[in-house]
Amino acid sequence: MSPVRVRQHVNPLAIKYITPILPLDWQQIYTNPTQPLHLDIGCARGQFLLDMAKLEPNWNYLGLEIRSVLVEDAISTTRKLNLTNLHYLFCNVNNSLEPLLKSLSPGTLQRVTIQFPDPWFKNRHAKRRMLQPPLVAELATYLASGGMVFLQSDIEGLLLEMRDRFASHPDFTLQSLEPLLTPNPLPIATEREQTTLSRGEPVYRAIFSRR
């Protein structure tokens, strides 16, 4: 991926992010739209998904990201590499997830990753955090039975908040028995994960399955 310079954070409650995206025609996006779909929410530059898409061509990959410049750059790289199982969308997941997931064939969504999603550590910014209860409910509605949700953060309190939101939903079962410092079940580490681990700092994780 080429290095694009962008604003570090955007406020998802700002008026410019209130318009939801329109439902998509998946036939135009993936060569085989019936393959299982892995959704990465807050994908930033999308390097994690690019590596996953190369590794597992029998899955489709979709990254959602609120910073449009990153999405444009990621799509351009995907086209150059001719990857037809990978796509990125510019959207605010807090108002766009439902219309997006509604347009999928039932049972397609099988894996969701939410990795280091928030710069909003302070309590007064808690409403800007991505993982709000309505988002958990939307994922419960559209994730296939047995599908996986994988959460990571370098901030223990934020991981606990995300974990508790999924744990309090009746459709999700916590799979990671080791409290927080469970190993990553996926073969690729995200950029933030690599940076955190390279500094010798802990990564907090939780894994859920959809009942």
Ligand X SMILES: C[S@@+](CC[C@H](N)C(=O)[O-])C[C@H]1O[C@@H](n2cnc3c(N)ncnc32)[C@H](O)[C@@H]1O
Decide if residue 77 touches ligand X (CB under 6 A): no
Single out the residue of 77, 78, 85, 94 in contact with ligand X (rule: CB under 6 A). Answer: 94
Decide if residue 130 touches ligand X (CB under 6 A): yes
Decide if residue 44 touches ligand X (CB under 6 A): yes
Decide if residue 12 touches ligand X (CB under 6 A): yes
Number of H helices, E strands in the chain: 6, 7
Decide if residue 153 touches ligand X (CB under 6 A): no
Question: Residue 185's CB: how many other CB atoms inside 10 A?
Answer: 11
Q: Which of 27, 135, 21, 101 lies closest to 68 in space, CA to CA?
A: 21
Residue 164 annotated to the active site: no
Written as six digits, the tokens of 183 are: 């190993």
Select which of 118, 154, 164, 171 is catalytic. Answer: 118
Closer residue to ligand X, CB minimum distance, 53 or 66: 66
Decide if residue 138 touches ligand X (CB under 6 A): no
Single out the residue of 111, 192, 205, 210 in contact with ligand X (rule: CB under 6 A). Answer: 192
C-beta nearest to ligand X: residue: 42
121-130 long-range Cβ contacts below 8 angstroms, 24+ apart: 121/155, 121/157, 121/158, 127/13, 128/11, 128/12, 128/13, 129/158, 129/161, 130/12, 130/41, 130/42, 130/93, 130/94
Written as six digits, the tokens of 186 are: 């996926």
Summarize as ranges the residues that interact with ligand X (CB under 6 A).
12, 42-44, 64-67, 92-94, 115-117, 130, 190-193
